[in-house]
Chains A and B, each alone.
Chain A
Amino acid sequence: MRTILCTALLAASPAWGQAVEAEEFVLDNGMKFLLYPRTEQPLNVSAGWVAHVGSVNERPGITGISHFFEHMMFKGTQTIGTNDPAQDAAFREQQEAARTKLRALQLDQNYARYLKGEIDDPWHPSHDTPEMAELRKELDRLVEAHKSVIVKDEFDQVYTQLGGSRMNAFTSNDLTFYFITVPSNKIEHWAWLESDRLADSVFREFYSERDVVHEERRKRTESTPTGVYDEQFEAMFWESSPYSWPVVGWPTDLNSYTMEQAQAYYDTYYRPNNLTGVIVGDFDAEAVKPVLVKYFGRLEAGEPPPPVVTLEMPQLAEKRMDAACECTPQVTVRHRAPPYEHADMAAFEVLANLLNGRTGRLYRSMVEGASVAAEASSGYRPLKYGGYFDIGAEVKGDATPDDLEREILAVVAKLQAEPVPERELQKVKNQVLADSYRRLEDNYSLMVQLGFYEALGDWRYLNTEGQRMQAVTAEDVQRVAKEWLVPSQRSVASYVREGGEE
């Protein structure tokens, strides 16, 4: 019965899933486009472009600038967002002058006061000296006056009137992605607006947007039960890698960015040769190509951006973070794992699938079985220059985080000791096959996947991932578990409830 079913599954799709044949179209300036016409969702296209830059390209002092920059990209250009480009430029210049002076004083005087223990936050306005307070007033006055020549959020305004929707962007450790859905008759408008902001972005409302990012950080990191601990765990896990700082950036750095730094970042990384455009949906590729040439072709290529040099140092010993928070007692057991494009990646993806779900090993052994966890799951996160594999669980009843950790390590030990039974492995492969179709159904999601994989190496990974997972053997799974999931490669975050019994 089992064998028959497997054969049926494989026979139905000899190629193990459906291949996406996106067309690559490369402009003279090096900007690559992935074009994938599809009529199942008519009259719309989902379009975006990915910049091959993220927090991994940052350095101390400007952490978070990739993400901050993403916010700045919605503030317009010399054409969009102002009714007087000359005055607009003058205001920005004057603001930056006042701000440069203020910043120098904060970094000099207030950092000294802070280090002596006299004030608790060198950047807070309540600690301004009279000179700083004057400069801040001047800056506020300039920001207020600037509003007279700003056309508020005009970039959004124009797109909204054109019928654009789901406009958004995200920044990760490795990439920054900007996307939208537009009606099929507005592709040229999209090309106009996107190439305009790639040619000519200006940094309006630089300071109020910085405050917005502070609020984003407060919301996501500082006001959630484990947000600040997650951030510190990340910083503890990575040694030398730039992955150690948060994508949103450290608060001090967020306070100190200058427009000059933003401009240098833009000039270095937002060059056509470091970008990939993606269009998926109801359009004619031949008709769109001249439009892409016409608009994006005017972008001037730059020098290739500086490579990421610093690799993660080998981990020598297990690390631990024992924390108390306002949260359910819980544990995360993290191991070093392979990066994207590593030969062991497919085996790790299979491994994560073996552990998850109601027929997965974690549920069976921890939620049922030993009955110590209310929930348990694993996640493999491959990044461009490194990766990790997490197994996490939350306690139930009287169980403790130590119980969870013990049971998690028992699950790992079993993976190392015995090869996975053939049927269990086949179950995962059957799911991989079905999911290889499901993930292609929506244009928007497909567009994001194509750009995402391309930024991490090659969009074709969308097609080969399933095939590579189908080829994984029980021996492969056992081997990677033995090689990677060992104590010296481990970091553990263990949480008890603050003020609780433990």
Chain B
Amino acid sequence: MRYALVLLLAAGCPKPAPVDSPAKTARGQLPEEAGLAKRPEDLPVTALAFEPPEPAAFRHELDGGVPLWVATSDEFPLVQISMTFKGGKYLEPAGHAGLARMTGSLIRSGGSKSKTPEALDEAFDFLAADVRVSVGNEFASADLNCLKDNLEECLDLFVEMLREPRFDASRTQVYKDGWLARLEQRNDDASDILSYEWNALLFGRDHYLGRIEKKSDIDAIDAADMKKMHARIFHPGNMSVQVSGAITADAVKPLLEKRFAGWAKGEPVDDPPAPTAAPAPGVYHVQKDIPQGKVRIGMRGITRDDPDAIAIEVMNDILGGGGFTSRITKRVRSDEGLAYTARSAFQNRVYFPGIFLAFTESKSETVAFATKIMMDEITRIRTEPVSAIELDTARAALIETFPRTFESKAATLDTFADDAWTGRDPGYWKAYRENVAKVDAARVTEVAAAHLDPAKAVILIVGDWEPIAKGDLEGHATMADFFGGEVTHLPLRDPLTDAPL
């Protein structure tokens, strides 16, 4: 029977499916026919016991009080040493935007006291060491990954580089040349324009997260600026060390202490400043001739330690964070076929409230329709209770995937070190699953109403305005549907001076 159907299909005359009973498949038995459980949910489950690891079991201390986190694994002959330092972009002086990233890059590429840049790179590469240094927005990191047999030699080079970087002039010039080339590309890719303007709108052009780099910054920064930033961030009073791989705490401790000896402790670094201005709600647009409009909808969100944070995690999973099980993705992508990506996220921050963000991209004529769906869903979750299955799915997703937070030894140590740096409640992980399970439908509505306000939304669109404004052929939506049809057209800006074009 099944064989016959195969032949029919191959002959190009598919047999219409009978309407009164499910079509037999040509390719194997259906679950019931094969004597299998009717549905996957019917299968028995053996409970898995998992308790999050205790930070104390991994915590050690180096001379002088530097926190050391160690997790040993003998599977591979590799050692990973990751160092974390507080401080970053927010420490850049005025007129020196980009100094933080440049300092990180030049510590790595600019040589060390005893080694020219070429000699240091050559030594690391010959030893097959993977070495990275970066100074980010709020924290800096330095990582060494090498074969355990080379560890001592790699550590000598690595620590000297961190303690006494050379900031070589010719490598500085190479970096500046590359930076200028990147600056010149600022308006080439719509995604980049979206990202610059978004940060400027949400955090303000005067805040470190919204600051735009200009050619004048490149010209102003010199080795003295990098040295100052290096001295402020990279010292034992401001760092932690995470070690994983083929070495024990007892073995690594003396290796590190020997190389850190005599490294002067500087002052602790201040917390980053909060943005001053609140984002101004409304529709914003930047013109770009592409066949697709890129959309972001956002507003101020919450801090990581907000008492509503876990309820918001569940709520956002239902709204647009949970992929295909969430409302925004289902409606924009799978129901209407308007976009490849459609999601939402609460980007919580440690030191001040982060942002809520919903985003998508759609062909010009359906940008308004996709935007309308997202705005409608943001409104709906504040007022209508979520369904039992939505709630169950979101909670199960967060609870069942929880062990993955501690999936690898390196990830576990990063979590512990990060928590220690940012003062997270030590009971957070232990209570996490229980707290997720406690979130009910009423709580979801409550936190949505408290933290999502469509009237406060910033809507930013990069794309071709004329067809975007008009909306779709079928009349689902036009851009006049938002904020009374008012729109602020933001200019493209000169890539080198940031002056409006």
Contact = CB atoms under 8 A, between A and B. Distances in A.
Interface of A: 2, 5, 8-9, 12-13, 18, 40-44, 74, 78-80, 85-87, 89-90, 92-93, 125-126, 147, 152-153, 156-158, 160-163, 165, 167, 181, 183-186, 188-189, 192-193, 195-196, 198-200, 205, 207-216, 218-219, 222-225, 260, 263-264, 266-267, 270-271, 294-295, 298-300, 326-328, 357-359, 367-368, 371, 374-375, 394-397, 423, 426-427, 430-431, 433-435, 437-438, 440-442
A96 B393 CA distance: 33
B340 interface: yes
Contacts of A161: 41, 392-393, 396-397, 400
Interface residues of B, number: 103
A219 B292 contact: yes
24 contacts: A86-B17, A87-B19, A157-B324, A161-B41, A162-B40, A192-B31, A199-B30, A207-B337, A210-B337, A215-B340, A219-B341, A222-B291, A264-B10, A267-B27, A327-B185, A328-B188, A358-B109, A358-B121, A359-B121, A426-B126, A427-B126, A431-B125, A434-B147, A438-B76
B17 A434 contact: no
Given A163-B397, A441-B408, A223 B473 contact: no
Nearest to B400: A163
B363 interface: yes
| 6 closest A-B pairs by CB | A163-B400, A211-B337, A208-B337, A374-B181, A89-B17, A199-B28
A125 B473 contact: yes
Contacts of B145: 438
B249 interface: no
B77 A13 contact: yes
Contacts of A210: 337
Interface in B1-32: 2, 6, 9-10, 12, 14, 16-23, 25-31
Central interface residue in A126, A147, A161, A359, by most chain B CB within 10 Å: A161
B324 A156 contact: yes
A483 to B, nearest CB: 28
Contacts of A207: 337
A299 B27 contact: yes
A167 B334 CA distance: 16
A368 B9 contact: no
B43 interface: yes
B403 A153 contact: no
Given A12-B149, A368-B170, 5 more contacts: A126-B473, A189-B43, A208-B336, A374-B180, A430-B126
A211 B75 CA distance: 46
Interface of B: 2, 6, 9-10, 12, 14, 16-23, 25-31, 34, 36-41, 43, 45-48, 50, 73, 75-78, 109, 118, 121-122, 125-130, 145-147, 149-150, 170, 174, 177-178, 180-182, 184-185, 187-191, 290-292, 294, 322-325, 330, 333-341, 361-363, 389, 392-393, 396-397, 399-401, 403-404, 407-409, 473
Contact of B30 (A43, A78, A266, A270): A78
Contact of A300 (B2, B18, B20, B125): B2
A11 to B, nearest CB: 9
B327 to A, nearest CB: 10
Nearest to A85: B22
Given A165-B404, A214-B363, A440-B76, A9 B27 contact: no
Given A222-B292, A299-B27, A396 B181 contact: yes
A274 to B, nearest CB: 12
Given A78-B30, A438-B130, A212 B340 contact: yes
Given A181-B404, A215-B339, A152 B14 contact: no
B330 A152 contact: yes
Contacts of A8: 149
Contacts of B126: 2, 5, 423, 426-427, 430
Contacts of A430: 126-128
A162 B393 CA distance: 9
B38 A397 contact: no
Nearest to B246: A437
Contact of B190 (A80, A196, A223): A223
Nearest to B46: A185
Nearest to B389: A157
A198 B25 CA distance: 11
Contacts of B336: 208, 211
Nearest to B74: A40
B341 A9 contact: no
B188 A212 contact: no
A389 B340 CA distance: 31
Given A40-B73, A209-B337, A359-B122, A158 B322 contact: no
B17 A211 contact: no
A433 B188 CA distance: 39
A374 B76 contact: no
With most chain B CB atoms within 10 A of its CB, the pick from A198, A225, A371 is A225
Contacts of A225: 185, 188-189
Nearest to B364: A218
Contacts of B407: 41, 44
Given A9-B149, A263-B9, A300 B473 contact: no
Contacts of B48: 43, 183-185
Contact of B334 (A44, A205, A224): A205
Given A165-B404, A434-B128, A327 B188 contact: yes
A86 B122 contact: no
A13 B147 CA distance: 11
Contact of B403 (A152, A183, A223): A183
B25 A263 contact: no
A199 B19 CA distance: 20
A396 B30 contact: no
B334 A152 contact: yes
A38 B121 CA distance: 35
Contacts of B39: 79-80, 158
